[in-house]
Each structure stands twice: as C-alpha cells, then as structure tokens.
C-alpha cells in the first residue's frame, strides 16, 4: 500500500478533531495529498450509523448491538474512503479507528477482547494505522471541556467510572504497541500539542522515507 494511515485516539475532550485538522493543514502545506476523516462517519451510510449510535434516543442499546454498529460503520468507511485513498498514495488522517472499539466496547463495556479482535479482522481485513496518536487527559477535565462546548451524546452521558475504564484501556493499548501508538499528554495548549504531533509524525515519515531508500539500494545492489 502506497499511502500513510494516521489515527487520532483518546477519551472525550482531548481535542482530537482540532489536532487532526491542524495536522492535515500542516501536511497539506508540505505538498502532501491528505484525506481527513472521522469515525463513526466518513461516508453517507456510516454517518447514518453514527446518528443511531450517538442519539440520546438510543439509550438502552445492547452492548453487542453497539459493537456491531461501530464495526459496520468502519467496514463501509474503509471500503469507500480509506482504502481507495491509501491505494492512491494519499495520507489518511482519521479521528478514531479500531482502538476506540477496544477501549470503549472492550475495556469500557467489558466485552471479551478476543471477540472484539475477531470482529475487527472481519470489518478491517487486518488494516491498522501506521501511526496512532493517543491524546491523553484526565477524565474530569475532558468531560468538563466537552460540557463547555455543549457536546453531550449518548456515550458522553456514561458515568465517570466508564470513562476511567476507557482511558486506562487506551493506556494499555499504548503500552502493548509502543511502536505504533504514541501518547501525548494534552493538558498543554493546542499549539504545544500540535508541535508534539508534528514531531512524532515527522519522525515516522523520515523513518519511512529512509526505509524506502534502503529498499531501493538493496534492489540496486541485486541488479
Ligand atoms: P466523537 O468522535 O465525536 O467523540 O464521538 C464518537 C463517540 O463514539 C465517542 O464517545 C467514542 C465512541 N466510540 C466508541 O464507543 N467506539 C468506537 O469504535 C468509536 C469509533 C467511537
């Protein structure tokens, strides 16, 4: 695959959407072709699923129904938007991806992680981000920030214990996959976090470019 796949993850109120937008603007400014997208969403069908998932009318939704809907939305998103862009060689930046399902439905709802992994293989075909930026903040600050901007969907209405389980789930994912998942404390202001994000993504891009050069040298030495 020619493109680069970047995901942003984190609990509520970490400023993921802002950071995804700023990174997208930065990379576009450097001449790269960037697709910025989000989950659940990114396509007409996935947005309809998002509405069902986040509406306050959906209170009482069964946890397995919830898990299946997030996966359904992802499958559509990958086929319609993410894979075509990666095959064209674009940079895809998504605000949330599979790690959110592990953190919210796995650690938050206590659904078996092996079941989540099996379903993930079906909906993603094994596609994983090349780099994941995990924005971390304490739960109280995150929820307060979202209240201040009147963001209040079905998941945000969960109690504090749920959100704490989700946060520690994200931290466990980062500990398990330190190569892919880079954690940033986002208590600092937007600009300071953006600078850290750019440094991390630049580090990844430099490594990717030098690997490509090494591959080419190896090919040349074989000729
Ligand atoms: P947000 O992207 O606007 O924060 O809204 C998405 C909500 O859906 C957020 O509360 C996290 C939740 N979510 C899951 O529970 N599982 C998932 O797989 C994804 C992508 C999001």
Please indicate, yes or no, if residue 170 is contained in any of the structural domains.
Answer: yes
Residue 40 CB less than 6 A away from ligand 1: yes
Please indicate, yes or no, if residue 37 is contained in any of the structural domains.
Answer: yes
* pLDDT tens-digit readout, 35-66: 999 999 999 999 999 999 999 999 999 999 99
* CATH number, domain containing residue 167: 3.40.50.300
Is 84 a residue whose pLDDT tops 90?
Answer: yes
Please indicate, yes or no, if residue 222 is contained in any of the structural domains.
Answer: no
Residue 107 CB less than 6 A away from ligand 1: no
* pLDDT tens-digit readout, 189-220: 999 999 999 999 998 888 876 666 666 665 44
Q: Supply the DSSP symbol for 137.
A: -
The rounded Å distance from CA 104 to ligand 1 centre is: 8
The C-alpha atoms of residue 9 and residue 93 are separated, in whole angstroms, by 11
The 3-state DSSP class for residue 199 equals: helix
Instruction: Name the one residue in this structure whose structure tokens are 């090919």.
Output: 219
Please indicate, yes or no, if residue 168 is contained in any of the structural domains.
Answer: yes
The C-alpha atoms of residue 221 and residue 223 are separated, in whole angstroms, by 5
Please indicate, yes or no, if residue 171 is contained in any of the structural domains.
Answer: yes
Helix, strand, coil shares, percent, the chain, to 5: 60, 10, 25
Distance of CA 196 to the CA centre of its chain: 17
Domain of 142 in residue numbering reads as: 4-216
* pLDDT tens-digit readout, 100-148: 999 999 999 999 999 999 999 999 999 999 999 999 999 999 999 988 8
Name the band, by pLDDT with cuts 50, 70 and 90, for residue 149: confident
* For residues 74-80, average pLDDT: 98
pLDDT of residue 215: 62
The domain total for the chain is: 1
């Amino acid at each position: 695959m020619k493109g680069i796949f970047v995901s942003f993850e984190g609990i509520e109120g970490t400023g993921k959407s802002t950071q995804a937008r700023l990174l997208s603007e930065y990379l576009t400014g450097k001449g790269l072709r960037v697709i910025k997208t989000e989950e659940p969403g990114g396509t007409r069908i996935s947005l309809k699923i998002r509405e069902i998932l986040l509406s306050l009318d959906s209170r009482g939704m069964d946890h397995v129904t919830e898990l299946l809907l997030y996966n359904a939305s992802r499958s559509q998103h990958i086929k319609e938007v993410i894979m075509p862009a990666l095959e064209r060689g674009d940079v895809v930046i998504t605000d949330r991806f599979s790690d959110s399902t592990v953190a919210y439905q796995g650690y938050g709802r206590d659904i078996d992680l092996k079941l989540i992994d099996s379903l993930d293989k079906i909906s993603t075909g094994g596609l994983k981000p090349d780099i994941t930026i995990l924005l971390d903040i304490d739960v109280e600050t995150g929820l307060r920030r979202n209240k201040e901007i009147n963001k209040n969907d079905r998941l945000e209405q969960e109690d504090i214990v749920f959100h704490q389980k989700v946060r520690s789930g994200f931290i466990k994912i980062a500990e398990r996959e330190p190569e892919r998942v880079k954690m940033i404390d986002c208590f600092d202001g937007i600009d300071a976090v953006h600078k850290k994000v750019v440094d991390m993504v630049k580090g990844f891009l430099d490594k990717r470019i030098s690997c490509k050069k090494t591959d080419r040298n190896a090919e040349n030495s074989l000729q």
